């Protein structure tokens, strides 16, 4: 059985895209190929059915099928499953399926509703109770997408009060000081550590590692850039890590555009041979000829730079 995530987990959990055929069906062959691609580039684990995995456009059966294919193919690599859903029952059903199949944990973003932090706190307590203490949880803190900003203090309370809340997917923006605040908390004896993996496409990965993040959980189409940056940093080569990272920054910041960026990412994955079609499921972004020429230019520039 695959290991579960814990409060010391680190490395790169790649946010996996979901490949579709041009007709909009889930392409399980490509999905397997994509898992191999990610594994081949040295990721620590995978996170599936996140926002960039287009989970909200799938049926429950389709989500379960994605879970099955990925966990099966991952061959022991830990797999975190995004289970956010407007309905608690849908959330727990998917989480139950995922954990039964050997998932390493589940990821949950705050449910839609007023941004009052007491409501959000109550929601996570309800989710934790519904899932039970044995399901490791990741808090996805992505206010740009959810419209729900949360204080570092609330994340800390949830981490302390809920033993299963082990990891933060950090993508508040700007959010560098949040990492610093959370790590400062932990100097108080008795404060349980929280694993922090960063998102936002990795846009500030070196800064975030320097502030105490444990790695990345994002879906950049060059996973090797994330993997090597984190590895160098953890090996104490802070400058080398940032030098390495900076070469990828031009295309990374292009891919990080909200909405549109998913189509860019899938195009790069297709061109790199990881998936058969760059299609997103409708309604989703599609690249024009101009968009394609632009991203291919950025790919070519990257190759030139890497070859230099």
Residues within the annotated binding site for pyruvate?
217
Q: How far is the CB of 195 from a second copy (least distance, A)?
A: 21
Q: What six digits make up the tokens of 130?
A: 């519904």
| Residue number with CB closer to a second copy (75 or 126) | 126
Q: How far is the CB of 188 from a second copy (least distance, A)?
A: 17
Is 113 within 8 Å of 119 (Cβ atoms)? Answer: yes
| Residue number with CB closer to a second copy (45 or 202) | 202
Q: How far is the CB of 277 from a second copy (least distance, A)?
A: 16
- CB-count exposure of residue 173 (10 Å: 0-12, 13-18, 19+): middle
Q: How far is the CB of 242 from a second copy (least distance, A)?
A: 7
Q: How far is the CB of 62 from a second copy (least distance, A)?
A: 9
Q: What six digits make up the tokens of 131?
A: 């899932």
* φ and ψ of 158, to 5 deg: -60, -40
- CB-count exposure of residue 76 (10 Å: 0-12, 13-18, 19+): exposed
How many other CB atoms are there within 10 angstroms of residue 271's CB atom? 15
| Residue number with CB closer to a second copy (1 or 289) | 289
**Which sign does the torsion angle of CA 73, 74, 75, 76 carry?**
negative
Name residue 137's beta-bridge partners: 106, 165
Q: How far is the CB of 111 from a second copy (least distance, A)?
A: 5
CA dist 257 → 51, 130, 202, 285 (Å): 14, 35, 12, 11
Q: How far is the CB of 19 from a second copy (least distance, A)?
A: 15
Q: Which residues bind a second copy (CB under 8 A)?
A: 24, 54, 56-60, 85-90, 111, 113-119, 123, 126, 130, 143, 147-154, 173-174, 176-177, 180, 203-204, 207, 210-211, 242, 246, 249-250, 253-254, 257-261, 281-283, 288, 290-291, 294, 301
| Residue number with CB closer to a second copy (3 or 177) | 177
């Amino acid at each position: 059985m695959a290991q579960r995530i814990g409060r010391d987990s680190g490395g790169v959990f790649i946010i996996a895209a979901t490949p579709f055929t041009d007709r909009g069906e889930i392409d399980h062959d490509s999905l397997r190929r994509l898992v191999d691609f990610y594994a081949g580039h040295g990721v620590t684990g995978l996170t599936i059915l996140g926002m960039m995995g287009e989970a909200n456009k799938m049926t429950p059966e389709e989500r379960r099928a994605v879970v099955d294919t990925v966990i099966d193919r991952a061959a022991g690599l830990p797999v975190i499953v995004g289970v956010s859903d407007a309905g608690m029952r849908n959330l727990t059903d998917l989480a139950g399926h995922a954990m039964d199949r050997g998932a390493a944990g589940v990821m949950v973003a705050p449910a839609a509703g007023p941004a009052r932090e007491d409501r959000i706190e109550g929601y996570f307590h309800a989710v934790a109770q519904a899932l039970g203490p044995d399901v490791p949880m990741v808090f996805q803190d992505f206010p740009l997408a959810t419209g729900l900003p949360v204080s570092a203090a609330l994340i800390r309370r949830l981490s302390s009060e809920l033993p299963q809340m082990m990891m933060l997917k950090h993508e508040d923006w700007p959010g560098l000081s949040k990492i610093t605040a959370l790590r400062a908390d932990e100097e108080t004896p008795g404060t349980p550590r929280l694993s922090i993996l960063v998102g936002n496409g990795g846009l500030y990965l070196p800064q975030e590692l320097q502030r105490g993040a444990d790695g990345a959980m994002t879906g950049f189409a060059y996973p090797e850039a994330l993997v090597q940056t984190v590895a160098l940093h953890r090996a104490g080569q802070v400058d080398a890590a940032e030098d390495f990272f900076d070469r990828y920054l031009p295309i990374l910041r292009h891919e990080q555009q909200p909405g549109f960026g998913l189509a860019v990412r899938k195009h790069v994955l297709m061109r790199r041979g990881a998936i058969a079609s760059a299609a997103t499921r409708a309604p989703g972004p599609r690249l024009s000829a101009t968009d394609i020429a632009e991203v291919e230019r950025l790919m070519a520039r990257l190759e030139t730079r890497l070859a230099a």
